[in-house]
Each structure stands twice: as structure tokens, then as C-alpha cells.
Structure 1
């Protein structure tokens, strides 16, 4: 679990758009449905590129999810699995902890694929008793981010 303590920065995180989900609840429901259909189901996100900073990811990194331009949640990265597609191409299966941890809202500009995210730049986890933080309107978030306030 990440506590926002920046004294241990020996890991790196990933940030990724949560395509097809408008809210954290959508991701939770989708993952729960996958596990319900197959109790042994391993939660993983398959991507074309294999992270070059694998050791740093596996030293405590998380995948931070972006919903509609705002980071709102993360999942701990457990391991990276090789996945060979039907086309014979090697891909990376990012295996995730089933626990989805809500984070403070942090705006992100659009991007493709995934990006590395330093611990110092990662939003803090929300307290356990606070299930969500309402995001600012996208236009306001973008304007604040542009001037360096968020």
C-alpha cells in the first residue's frame, strides 16, 4: 500500500487511460464480472509494449487509472506476464492486485498507451473512510494544471 511517504522512491508507477469506463465504479464492476465468470481469473491488462523499467515497477509500483481526464484510482502491479497473441506477437500482461485504491483527483492530458509516473508525481491515496473525491470540472482542472496549481 502506498501511503504518500516519498522517503522510499525505489519504484516507478504507470499511468493509463481507463478506456470504456467513465468512473471507478465502472472499472470495479467490469473486473468483478470477469472474476465472477471465472473464479481463478487473473486480473491483467495486456499491452503491446514491455516496460523497460520492469524491476522498478515490480519494486512496489501501481497502475494509476485515468477516467475522463482525471486520475482517480490505482491498482498495485504484482507481476508482468508474457502473453503471445493469436498473431504470434509477444505482449506484456500487467497482472494487477484485485484491490482498487481510490486516489485524490489529479488531471491528466490525453495520451496513448501508458506512461511512467514517478512516486513524487503520483496522487495520494484517499483515506479508507472516504470512497471518492469529486473531480473538478474538466475545463477548470485543465486550466489549473496549465498554470501549475494542480
Structure 2
């Protein structure tokens, strides 16, 4: 089972805003100073995007490429898949996410309804109410 990563979608205000970044692209490359230690396990997994303290979408990780300046590119498919929103604290850089903790994909035509804001969902989850 491949390993997944989570990352803040810096500057994106919503899922639609993030989806707009994908339009017309063949692949997405994220530059990072350090390659994940477990990078080989991540190829074939997904990078889950966090917006407003919630995981909202994912893209499949196709590889890791070293740049000329010694940094690393995380190469993603240029296809964004909406997932069932899941509360997730903000963090810097990327973090690992195992498959059993990852949110499921939203099926085509499925109505996701009104999603709770990420911070509120986290507070309710801590109280055992969701």
C-alpha cells in the first residue's frame, strides 16, 4: 500500500481555487528543500491538500526529481480529486498520511452537502460530537 503526504494549499481559499491552478497543466511540480525519507513508498500514493484546516482534495504522486539547485520536485498528476472533507491541523512542509487515515473520494455526481469549516469540525471531533 503506497504512503500518502499532506500539504497546505498555500494561498488557496477553496477547493475551486485549487482546482483552477490545475487547469491546462500536464503535471504539477512542488519544490521542497528535502526529499521525504520514505519517498519510494509515496510514489503511487497521493498528496492530500489542506485548505482552511481541512483535507479537501488529492493528486496522485508520480515521482520525485532532483533539481539543478539541489532541491526536490514532488511530481503530481495534473488531476485533482475531491475527497470527503476531513479536519486536519495546519503544518509546515508535508506530513505522511497512511491509507487507513486518508479520507475517501467523493463519487461522481455525489452531493457532498454543506461541509463544516475545518476548525469547527476539529473542535467538535475533540469533544466527541462528530
Q: Does 1:30 align with 2:21?
A: yes
- Tell me which residue corresponds to 2:51: 67
For structure 2, the 5+ residue unaligned runs are none
In the alignment, the residues of structure 2 paired with residue 91 and residue 83 of structure 1 have an alpha-carbon distance, to the nearest angstrom, of 5
Q: Return the structure number with greater strand share.
A: 2
Asked whether the equivalents of residues 52 and 117 of structure 2 are also in contact (C-alpha less than 8 Å), the reply is: no
Please tell me whether residue 13 in structure 1 is matched to residue 1 in structure 2. no
Please give the per-residue CA displacement for 1:48-74, whole angstroms capped at 9, x wherever unaligned. Answer: 11011112101x210000011110100
- Residue 87 of structure 2 contacts residue 119 of structure 2 at CA under 8 Å; is this kept in 1? no
Distance change >3 Å, CA 21–CA 132, structure 1 → 2: farther
The count of corresponding residues between Structure 1 and Structure 2 is 130
Matched ranges for 1:1-150 at <5 A: 10-32=1-23, 35=25, 42-58=27-43, 60-85=44-69, 90-130=70-110, 132=112, 134-147=114-127
TM-score by length of 2: 0.89
Please report how far the alpha carbon of residue 14 of structure 1 lies from its aligned counterpart in structure 2 after TM superposition: 0.1
Bigger Rg, which one: 1
- Normalised by the size of structure 1, how large is the TM-score? 0.78
In structure 1, runs of 5+ residues without a counterpart are 1-9, 36-40
